[in-house]
């Protein structure tokens, strides 16, 4: 209805515009014709006046020569009647008045125009209007000149060039005016006919084009807003039909292509675009998000460790999505534990948005347990582990699992306020793209680290093996030197281990080794590096510990091993251990030499009766050598 009213209004405006143009054209034609006829009639009247004046001059001169000058009034009357003039009169100049007197009564009345012509010797033409209608008054001077025919200086005693007199002629322009008006009416009629014909043709030819142009404008405006559903009414034929049909085909193609792209992008993002939005801009935003996510994936694929990936993902959440409060948890499926990798942008930060229970029992985390997103914005109390709203600040959370091999391998938790909750919910589909790209890369990195760790670990005891020391010795050595600290090197050997194997069998020997490894883990710090060096020998590197500190720690280990009861099928077994201690770099600036010094101290401990700790001194190496 509204479109119909708009089209009707545009039709009316278009008709008015063309009607106005036609009226303006007619007015221009009328004005031009009237002006042209007026100028033409004045030009013709001036020419008639000059001709009549010349006739009067010649006739008066001949009358003077023939002695019939006293009949000049009749002469002027005949000239006026014969030429169709309204008036012909003559006034004498000063020289003629001096020679012949003032003349007849009709020749003595001068007006300003006569005086001006007699003084200047130049003709004056004045258009006037009186009761007889429009008139042209022409006052033309007679100037004395030699050689003129008839010769005026023969009778007049004046100087050459002197004005003898002036002839005033009044010519009626009424007939010319009437003729002009008649022709104007004819021209107006002809122009009006063509204007009406043009308006008719316009309505048949131009009007469809105007309507199509208006419809195209509307369609383009809607298309710019992402709406390609507009279809133009198609005229029956002509150029307007072709334009409308072409625009409709274009809109159909764009609509189909955009919808196809939308569907593909929605499928990639697992997100349904709201149809009320500008679909073109929404699709562009999502495509840009996919491109950025693709660049992000390329970057994390080149990262060396999973920690670098977590840090890069943290930067994306904080910088690209402008979210400052969030956590990234890593799930250890085999141990039912979770580790906070990033908290509020801080790597290895202390988790505080959730109950600590999730760290030791990952199934307590709803997102981890279900593998589904948890929206605490829509349902604030959905997860009892969330602690962000305990202070009454109105914090809400959204937890997004990163699926790896069918399980939630990581959990990304977004924390929102009442003001930012809806905005963060709107950003979730875009963040999911990053998480989907991150998941397989992160899983591959974790798998590689797991494989690397398994190749560097002793399968039976769970301690590092000798290959680990060989791989990380340079890093460990450089760290100690850079920090200017000490590294206590402890070498362990189970006393009389061969008798265990010979007496109780190898299974019992394995249990002894496992028990000793357990004592090392329990007694020493988590930051210390524990290695099964080979057979029944163990090696420990105590970070930031001097040789004296290593002696204290070694004695604790010795006592704990001696007190440990190892269960066997037939009862229990207790074993002792000998330990040698060295200090890197106090005892030696060469790492492997410090290990040898610890081994020398261990050898001394065994020589002195076993079940004891010996600190390396240089004399032990000389004795060993």
The percentage of residues in the chain with a pLDDT greater than 70, rounded to a whole number, is 80
Query: What is the number of residues in the chain?
Result: 625
Asked if the model's pLDDT at residue 286 lies above 80, the reply is: no
Which is higher by pLDDT, 141 or 450? 141
446-450 average pLDDT score: 72
Q: Which domains does the chain have, with CATH numbers?
A: 30-178 (3.30.450.20), 226-302 (no CATH), 303-451 (3.30.450.40), 466-624 (3.30.70.270)
Kindly report, residue by residue over 33-56, the tens digit of the pLDDT: 667 766 777 777 777 777 877 777
Which is higher by pLDDT, 487 or 252? 487
Which is higher by pLDDT, 405 or 296? 296
Instruction: Provide the pLDDT for residue 604.
Output: 93
534-552 average pLDDT score: 92
Nearest alpha-carbon partner for 466 in 535, 528, 533, 540: 533
Distance CA 104, CA 13 (A): 71
Inter-residue contact 144 to 160 (CB < 8 Å): yes
pLDDT band of residue 268 (cuts 50, 70, 90) is low
Instruction: Provide the pLDDT for residue 2.
Output: 46
> How high does pLDDT run on average in the chain?
81
Maximal CA-CA distance, the chain: 187
pLDDT band of residue 70 (cuts 50, 70, 90) is low
Distance CA 491, CA 480 (A): 19
Q: What is the DSSP string of 431-469?
A: HHHHHHHHHHHHHHHHHHHHHHHHHTB-TTT-SB-HHHH
Q: Which long-range contacts (CB under 8 A, 24 or more apart) does 384-388 make?
A: 384/355, 385/354, 385/355, 385/357, 385/358, 386/353, 386/354, 386/355, 387/352, 387/353, 387/354, 387/355, 388/325, 388/353, 388/415
| 300, 342, 427, 432 from 296: Cα distances, Å | 6, 18, 17, 13
Q: What is the CA radius of gyration of the chain?
A: 60
Distance CA 281, CA 266 (A): 14
Asked if the model's pLDDT at residue 1 lies above 50, the reply is: no
pLDDT band of residue 549 (cuts 50, 70, 90) is very high
Q: How many beta carbons lie within 10 A of that of residue 585, not counting itself?
A: 17
Kindly report, residue by residue over 93-134, the tens digit of the pLDDT: 777 777 677 666 655 567 888 778 777 878 888 887 777 778
Asked if the model's pLDDT at residue 453 lies above 50, the reply is: yes
Asked if the model's pLDDT at residue 381 lies above 50, the reply is: yes
The pTM of this model reads 0.48
Which is higher by pLDDT, 223 or 341? 341
358-372 average pLDDT score: 90
Q: Is the dihedral of CA 280, 282, 284, 287 positive or negative?
A: negative
Inter-residue contact 564 to 515 (CB < 8 Å): yes
Q: Is the dihedral of CA 83, 88, 94, 95 positive or negative?
A: positive
Backbone angles phi, psi at 174, to 5 degrees: -65, -45
Asked if the model's pLDDT at residue 594 lies above 60, the reply is: yes
508-514 average pLDDT score: 91
Distance CA 557, CA 551 (A): 10
pLDDT band of residue 390 (cuts 50, 70, 90) is low
Asked if the model's pLDDT at residue 490 lies above 80, the reply is: yes
Backbone angles phi, psi at 177, to 5 degrees: -65, -45
Inter-residue contact 140 to 49 (CB < 8 Å): yes
468-492 average pLDDT score: 88
Exposed / middle / buried, residue 554 (Cβ in 10 Å: 0-12, 13-18, 19+): buried
Q: Which residues contact 614 (CB under 8 A, 6 or more apart)?
A: 578, 579, 580, 581, 601, 602, 604, 605, 608, 620
Which is higher by pLDDT, 471 or 485? 485
């Amino acid at each position: 209805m509204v479109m119909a009213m708009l089209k009707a209004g545009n039709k009316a405006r278009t008709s008015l515009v063309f009607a106005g143009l036609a009226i303006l054209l007619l007015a221009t034609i009328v004005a031009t014709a009237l002006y042209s006829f007026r100028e033409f009639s004045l030009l013709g009247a001036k020419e008639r006046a000059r001709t009549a004046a010349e006739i009067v001059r010649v006739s008066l001169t001949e009358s003077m020569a023939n002695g019939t000058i006293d009949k000049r009034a009749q002469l002027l009357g005949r000239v006026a009647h014969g030429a169709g003039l309204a008036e012909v009169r003559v006034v004498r100049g000063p020289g003629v008045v001096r020679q012949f007197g003032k003349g007849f009564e009709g020749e003595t009345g001068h007006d300003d125009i006569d005086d001006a012509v007699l003084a200047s010797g130049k003709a004056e033409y004045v258009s006037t209007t009186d009761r007889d209608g429009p008139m042209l008054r022409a006052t033309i001077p007679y100037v004395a000149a030699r050689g003129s025919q008839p010769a005026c200086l023969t009778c007049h005693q004046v100087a050459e060039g002197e004005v003898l007199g002036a002839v005033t002629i009044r010519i009626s322009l009424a007939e010319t005016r009437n003729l002009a008006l008649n022709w104007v009416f004819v021209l107006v009629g002809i122009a009006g006919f063509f204007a009406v014909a043009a308006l008719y043709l316009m309505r048949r030819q131009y009007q469809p084009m105007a309507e199509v142009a208006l419809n195209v404008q509307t369609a383009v405006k809607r298309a710019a807003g992402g709406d390609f559903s507009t279809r133009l009414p198609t005229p029956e034929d002509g150029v307007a039909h072709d334009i409308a049909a072409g625009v409709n085909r274009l809109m159909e193609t764009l609509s189909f292509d955009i919808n196809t792209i939308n569907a593909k992008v929605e499928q990639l993002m697992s997100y349904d675009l709201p149809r009320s939005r500008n679909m073109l801009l929404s699709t562009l935003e999502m495509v840009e998000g996919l491109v950025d996510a693709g660049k992000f994936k390329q970057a994390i694929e080149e990262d060396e460790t999973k920690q670098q990936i977590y840090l890069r993902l943290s930067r994306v959440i904080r910088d690209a999505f402008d979210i400052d409060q969030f956590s990234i948890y890593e799930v250890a499926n085999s141990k039912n534990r979770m580790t906070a990798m990033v908290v509020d942008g801080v790597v290895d930060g202390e988790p505080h948005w959730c109950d600590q229970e999730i760290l030791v029992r990952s199934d307590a985390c709803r997102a981890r347990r279900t593998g589904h997103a948890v929206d605490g914005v829509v349902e604030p109390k959905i997860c009892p582990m969330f602690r962000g709203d305990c202070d009454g600040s109105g914090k809400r959370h959204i937890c997004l699992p990163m699926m790896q091999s069918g399980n939630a391998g990581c959990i990304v938790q977004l924390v929102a306020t009442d003001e930012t909750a809806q905005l963060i919910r709107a950003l979730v589909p875009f963040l999911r793209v990053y998480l989907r790209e991150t998941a397989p890369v992160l899983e591959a990195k974790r798998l590689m680290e797991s494989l690397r760790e398994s190749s560097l670990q002793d399968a039976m005891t769970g301690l590092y093996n000798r290959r680990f020391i060989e791989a990380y010795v340079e890093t460990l050595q450089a760290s100690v030197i850079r920090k200017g600290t000490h590294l206590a090197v402890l070498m362990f050997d189970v006393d009389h281990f061969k008798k265990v194997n010979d007496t109780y069998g190898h299974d019992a020997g394995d249990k002894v080794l496992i028990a000793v490894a357990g004592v090392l883990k329990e007694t020493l710090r988590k930051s210390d590096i524990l290695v099964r060096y080979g057979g029944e020998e163990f090696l420990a590197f105590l970070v930031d510990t001097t040789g004296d500190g290593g002696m204290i720690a070694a004695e604790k280990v010795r006592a704990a091993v001696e007190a440990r009861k190892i269960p066997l099928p037939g009862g229990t077994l207790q074993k002792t251990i000998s330990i040698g201690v060295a200090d890197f770099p106090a005892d030696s600036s060469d790492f492997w030499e410090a290990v040898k010094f610890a081994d020398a101290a261990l050898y001394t401990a065994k020589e002195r009766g076993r079940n004891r700790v010996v600190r390396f001194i240089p004399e032990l190496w000389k004795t060993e050598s």
